[in-house]
């Protein structure tokens, strides 16, 4: 399948920008008591009904909040509030979990004076446990007075689980001569292998765009960004990416026919890619970000498949952690991918050092490679010489701390 390429366009990164940088958005985060001494309940709020697009986990076991959110969007594809709790995924909780998710939606709608279908709910945390409903209810009452149009940090911290840091970004571009802004916030550290993973990402924009076109753009971008990260190969039950568009920037409504559509697509891709790389870099126990870029594949889809096979290989990940420049693990991972290739025509480079040309080893410095692997970012470049397909994937190394964190996740 040929995936539409997204061309670069002029883009400005807002330093210290956030999900609140676009016009029309507010947020809050509070500690409800589900998690002691830290924020665990957040709200993202739009001053106007915002056009919405969303993609969800490919897991057969979609958590209750996803079903409630899908129900909300089934009426108008518009939202004004997204309630997010951490500490409990409300997944695999049966009828009671679904009823609880609907009740939290009802409480949120009442607290903010909204129709229920303008509210979405998200949860992240331990699977198989029920929400602590009295604490959640009390926490929701704290949210309206805590709303802020500038400070997104309480919300950014409320959605975290084993993350070591918040994940945010913001960009601007010109559409119809108007400044259009996009911001994002995300969480994710472990159980990351999208189609999507225990990953929540929220993106806001003040662009004017109908939900149908926003949905098409998000699906295209997700395949090239969020679905190209992996930490540990496990797909979760709660993964969600949502985009809200307030339409307050003053541009003419965007569509694929709009002359500035490429600029909007590129901004959405850049926002998504930035958040995705932050998730990969912050993998549980990770010490390094690993980026794999594949070119010369039969098509873009096969390039992405090959890139993800390399970045997802436990043998590659442990070699990166140990600063062991064992390139044989890289070519083994490529060979295991379900793609077309000629095993006699593979090029591989690590950093700026070529390792293989036409599947023949070239002269390289083992010491320089080892030193390169000791840095905080490792880039692997592969050329398959099969076609013109290109793709990238991001992940992290696999350390001792990953075992420690996940061996005691509930304790």
Q: Which of 241-255, 281-295, 356-370, 379-393 has the lowest mean pLDDT?
A: 281-295
pLDDT of amino acid 406 = 64
pLDDT at 236 over 70: no
pLDDT of amino acid 161 = 86
Q: Which of 14-23, 59-68, 152-161, 206-215 has the lowest mean pLDDT?
A: 59-68
Q: Which of 123-127, 218-222, 278-282 has the largest mean confidence?
A: 218-222
Task: Render pLDDT for 58-116 as a digit per residue (tens, 0 to 9).
Answer: 777 889 999 999 999 999 999 999 999 999 999 989 999 999 999 999 999 999 999 99
Give the whole-angstrom CA distance, residue 327 versus residue 200.
33
Q: Which of 50-54, 198-202, 226-230 has the largest mean confidence?
A: 50-54
Cα angle value 115/119/123 (rounded, 5°) = 155
Question: Which residues sit opposite 56 in a β-bridge?
Answer: 240
pLDDT of amino acid 255 = 96
pLDDT at 11 over 80: yes
pLDDT (average), residues 389-393: 93
Give the three-class secondary structure for 183.
Answer: strand
| Average pLDDT for the chain | 90
Q: How confident is the model at residue 229 (pLDDT cuts 50, 70, 90)?
A: confident
Task: Render pLDDT for 263-314 as a digit per residue (tens, 0 to 9).
Answer: 999 999 999 999 999 988 887 667 889 999 999 999 999 999 999 999 988 8
Share of the chain above pLDDT 70, in %: 92
Residues of the chain with CATH 3.10.20.340: 289-407
Residues of the chain with CATH 3.60.70.12: 12-281
Share of the chain above pLDDT 90, in %: 71
pLDDT at 136 over 90: yes
pLDDT of amino acid 227 = 87
Is residue 198 flagged as an active site residue?
Answer: yes
Cα angle value 31/201/337 (rounded, 5°) = 135
Q: Which of 280-284, 329-333, 387-391 has the lowest mean pLDDT?
A: 280-284
pLDDT of amino acid 401 = 72
Spot the catalytic one: 161, 198, 204, 205.
Answer: 198
Whether residue 167 contacts residue 274, with contact meaning beta carbons closer than 8 Å, is answered with: no
Give Cβ neighbours of residue 372 (< 8 Å, ≥ 6 apart): 325, 350, 351, 353, 378
Per-position DSSP letters for 331-398, written without gaps between them: HHHHHHSSS---TTS-EEEETTEEEEETTEE----HHHHHHHHTSSEEEEEEE--SSSEEEEEEEE--
User: Shortest CA distance to 50 belongs to which of 242, 257, 272?
Assistant: 242
pLDDT of amino acid 197 = 40
pLDDT at 374 over 80: yes
Would you identify the CATH topology of the domain 12-281? 3.60.70
Give the whole-angstrom CA distance, residue 24 versus residue 1.
38
Q: How confident is the model at residue 385 (pLDDT cuts 50, 70, 90)?
A: very high
Higher pLDDT: 406 or 71? It is: 71
Residue 216: exposed, middle, or buried by beta-carbon count in 10 A (0-12, 13-18, 19+)? Answer: middle
pLDDT at 365 over 90: no
pLDDT at 37 over 90: no
pTM score: 0.86
pLDDT at 194 over 60: no
CATH class, domain 289-407, is alpha beta
User: Shortest CA distance to 274 belongs to which of 3, 18, 7, 36?
Assistant: 18
């Amino acid at each position: 399948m040929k995936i539409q390429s997204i061309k670069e366009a002029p883009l400005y990164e807002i330093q210290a920008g956030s999900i609140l940088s676009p016009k029309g958005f507010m947020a809050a985060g509070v500690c409800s008591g589900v998690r002691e001494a830290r924020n665990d309940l957040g709200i993202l709020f739009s001053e106007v009904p915002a056009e919405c697009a969303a993609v969800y986990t490919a897991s057969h076991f979609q958590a209750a909040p996803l079903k409630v959110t899908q129900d909300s969007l089934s009426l108008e594809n518009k939202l004004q509030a997204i309630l997010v709790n951490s500490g409990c995924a409300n997944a695999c909780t049966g009828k009671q979990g679904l009823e609880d998710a609907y009740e939290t939606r009802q409480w949120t709608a009442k607290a903010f004076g909204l129709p229920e279908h303008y509210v979405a709910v998200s949860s992240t945390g331990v699977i198989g446990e029920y929400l602590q409903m009295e604490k959640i209810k009390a926490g929701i009452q704290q949210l309206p007075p805590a709303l802020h149009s500038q400070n997104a940090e309480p919300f950014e911290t409320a959605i975290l689980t084993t993350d070591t840091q918040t994940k945010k970004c913001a960009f601007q571009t010109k559409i119809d001569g108007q400044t259009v802004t996009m911001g994002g916030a995300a969480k994710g550290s472990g159980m990351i292998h999208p189609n999507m993973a225990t990953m929540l990402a929220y993106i806001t924009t003040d662009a004017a765009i109908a939900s149908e076109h926003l949905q098409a753009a998000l699906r295209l971008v997700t395949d090239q960004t969020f679905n190209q990260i992996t930490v540990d190969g496990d797909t979760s039950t709660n993964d969600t990416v949502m985009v809200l568009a307030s339409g307050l920037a003053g541009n003419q409504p965007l569509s694929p026919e709009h002359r500035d559509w490429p600029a909007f697509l590129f901004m959405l891709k850049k926002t998504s890619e930035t958040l995705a790389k932050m998730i990969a870099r912050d993998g549980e126990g990770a010490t390094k970000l690993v980026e794999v870029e594949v070119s010369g594949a039969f098509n873009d889809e096969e390039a992405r498949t090959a890139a993800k096979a390399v970045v997802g290989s436990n043998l590659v990940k442990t070699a990166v952690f140990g600063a062991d420049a064992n390139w044989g693990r890289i070519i083994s991972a490529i060979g295991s991918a379900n793609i077309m290739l000629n095993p006699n025509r593979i090029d591989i480079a690590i950093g700026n050092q070529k390792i293989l040309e036409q599947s023949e080893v070239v002269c390289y410095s083992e010491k320089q490679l080892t030193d390169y692997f000791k840095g905080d970012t490792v880039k692997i470049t592969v050329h398959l010489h099969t076609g013109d397909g290109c793709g990238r994937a991001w992940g992290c190394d696999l350390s001792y701390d990953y075992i420690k964190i996940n061996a005691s996740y509930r304790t």
